[in-house]
Structure 1
Amino acid sequence: MTATRRTRTLHGQRMSYVEACPDAVRSADGRDDAGDDPEVVVLVHGIAGSAETWTPVLQAFEATGCDRLLLAPELLGHGESAGVGGDFSLGAYANGLRDLLAVLGHRRVTVVGHSLGGGVAMQFAYQFPEMCSRLVLVASGGLGRGVSPVLRLAALPGAEWVLPVLASTGLLGLGARGLRLAASLPTTGPGAVGLREAARHAASLTERAHLDAFVDTVRSVIGPGGQRISGTDRLYLTEGLPTLVVWGDRDPVIPVGHARRAGELIPHGRLEIFEGAGHFPHCYEPERFAALLTEFCDANAPAEIDVASLGPRVASRGA
């Protein structure tokens, strides 16, 4: 079982994704064992990230086995997905996921989102409830105001001029190398996981297309005072949608308090805190995360929600 990178062209732009566990839904003669609607799990990365952030999880599934198709798409302007200009809002990212899944022929999926990807996953569930079987939020954005000062600085006026200068002078690349060096020190301990991921994210910004997408994306969701977009007022709409929240208790980017509050607001939601983990709990303990994801999916049947069923809920809140 080997992960394979694939691409599709959507609206004239390339969208890249990694596919793993294809044998889980295909029989020996190449036909889907589950008919037209196989079990699919979509893994959405965070800002300045890529499908690479899910590599440890995919490797964990490869070692232990997997009975669901795994897809790790790269959002527009990230990884190998083209993205020179465009709409980098949560709604547009959710539309891109919908379009990719439609092209691939997947009608309903479990959506797992990390950081910005968590906000995209929530937006996907809100916009396309009939396509969302389960929702998993990992150190997710969109659940409160708190966020790293570094990301707040990137939202300030002039960032679109300052960051390219830092990239062109090699300072961003130098910073990425410094993070990698720090991660390699024996004294770093468990924090090495987060430093390696941060280094990968910082290195991606040395490419102008990624840098432009980063600035536009940051400004669409973050302001100088913190996160500008919150989905907490709509978490009641997850009633009937199996929802899992995963967080590291040492997250320096988005406070773990967001997880605890979300756990209280999500009807029948489940909260899992990874002790000692930072902003990338899925990389800190990939085997545990893979086992948790499998157990969660096995224990919760796919939801069957449509737009019509949401109407009475929204109306009742406005009464």
Structure 2
Amino acid sequence: MGTFINGRITIAYDDHNPEGTGPPLVLVHGHPFDRSMWAPQVQHVGRHGRRVIVSDLRGYGRSTVVPGRTPLRTFARDIAGLLDHLGVEQIVLGGLSVGGQIVMEFHRLFPDRLRGLVLADTAPQAETDEGRRARNAMADRLLQEGMGGYAEEVLAKMVAPANIRRSPAVAEHVLGMMRGTSPDGAAAALRGRAERPDYVASLSRVRVPTLIVVGDGDEFTPIGDARLMHQIIPDSTLVIVEGAAHMPNLEAPAEFNEALSAFLDSIPGGQ
């Protein structure tokens, strides 16, 4: 575990296999989680000798909590700052849910730093007026009530009910991450995400290999969103994980990891 001081905040991160081959894989967690959500991927990809970097976004995990509003561009610039700190220039960047939208923002700001993209259970459209109101209302609620009630309510949308029964340890991991998140950090991210721009146009300019993954039971970012990105991004690959909801990397790690490994091996010079 390492820490990167970025101005007044500290970003906590893990840098696995720093001498690994190929462009490093950097993974961005979703809301309201932390970098431990990528444990199956870190173990799998790292076992094959590739460098993998995961960090806690500001406001989450062991990184500094910053109240107020945190726009996606701030998260993206934090990642760029961490890469500069580590002396890493080009990467394969992946993210799930809002992590995927941070990946899209990173592509908009720093396209030359990318060798590949992984977009899991995410959507490129700008927030709607209704969605903006809902996210700000949820931010208010989390500040008033804390994370517990919200975590219980959304667990069955994060992890499919059948997977909760089949893999209770996964459900407990997801529930623990949500309960352990700072309400201030979560609220700031929600307010920032409510102002997100439309990434449809910028994704049409992607010129690196792209893997799109979605659970077939995802209610937050349905298959239609994944298919839209697949249509927009030239030569992208779409993988639909059967029986998974919003977190196929934890619900079906073997299938997710197989798709991820095949994708990484397909990147020129990636092995």
TM range (shorter): 0.7 to 0.9
Map 1:127-146 to 2 at 5 A: 127-143=109-125
Supply the AA of the counterpart residue of 2:29.
Answer: H
Contact 2:68 2:188 in 1 (8 A): no
Deviations 1:154-201 (A, max 9, x none): 422xx555323312xxxx4366578889x8x98954585874454134
Contact 2:219 2:246 in 1 (8 A): yes
Q: Match for 1:243 among 210, 231, 250?
A: 210
Note if 1:284 corresponds to 2:251: yes
Map 1:83-232 to 2 at 5 A: 83-85=65-67, 88-143=70-125, 153-156=134-137, 159-167=138-146, 172-173=147-148, 176=151, 188-189=164-165, 195-196=171-172, 198-205=174-181, 210-222=182-194, 229-232=197-200
Contact 1:193 1:283 in 2 (8 A): no
Matches of 2:257 and 2:237, distance apart in 1: 16
Secondary structure, aligned partner of 2:217:
coil
How far the C-alpha of 1:22 sits from its partner, in A, is 3.5
Contact 1:250 1:279 in 2 (8 A): yes
How far the C-alpha of 1:78 sits from its partner, in A, is 0.9
What is residue 261 of structure 1 aligned with on the other side? 228
Contact 2:124 2:225 in 1 (8 A): no
What is residue 17 of structure 1 aligned with on the other side? 13
Supply the AA of the counterpart residue of 2:197.
Answer: I
Secondary structure, aligned partner of 2:204:
helix
What is residue 300 of structure 1 aligned with on the other side? 267
Contact 1:179 1:195 in 2 (8 A): no
Deviations 1:187-232 (A, max 9, x none): 9545858744541343024xxxx21221222122238xxxx53311
Supply the AA of the counterpart residue of 2:254.
Answer: E
Note if 1:6 corresponds to 2:36: no
Matches of 2:139 and 2:220, distance apart in 1: 21
Matches of 1:100 and 1:61, distance apart in 2: 20
Matches of 2:70 and 2:220, distance apart in 1: 21
Secondary structure, aligned partner of 2:66:
coil
Indicate the structure whose relative CO is greater, using CA pairs within 8 Å and at least 6 residues apart. Answer: 2
Backbone CA RMSD of aligned residues: 3.1
Contact 1:134 1:243 in 2 (8 A): yes
Deviations 1:225-258 (A, max 9, x none): xxx53311222111x2111100000012211110
What is residue 39 of structure 1 aligned with on the other side? 23
TM-score (norm 1): 0.73
Identity rate, percent? 26
Matches of 1:128 and 1:101, distance apart in 2: 12
Secondary structure, aligned partner of 2:205:
helix
Matches of 2:53 and 2:122, distance apart in 1: 19
Pairs aligned (count): 266
Matches of 2:269 and 2:11, distance apart in 1: 27
Matches of 1:217 and 1:302, distance apart in 2: 35
Matches of 2:26 and 2:85, distance apart in 1: 14
Contact 2:67 2:188 in 1 (8 A): no
Matches of 1:300 and 1:253, distance apart in 2: 29
Select between 113-122 and 52-61 the one with higher mean Cα deviation: 52-61
Secondary structure, aligned partner of 1:277:
coil
Matches of 1:289 and 1:86, distance apart in 2: 35
Deviations 1:73-103 (A, max 9, x none): 1111111011233651111111100000001
What is residue 50 of structure 1 aligned with on the other side? 34
Deviations 1:284-305 (A, max 9, x none): 22233223222212212269xx
Contact 1:111 1:136 in 2 (8 A): yes
The gaps in structure 2 that reach 5 residues or longer are none
Supply the AA of the counterpart residue of 1:60.
Answer: H
Larger radius of gyration: 1
How far the C-alpha of 1:110 sits from its partner, in A, is 0.3
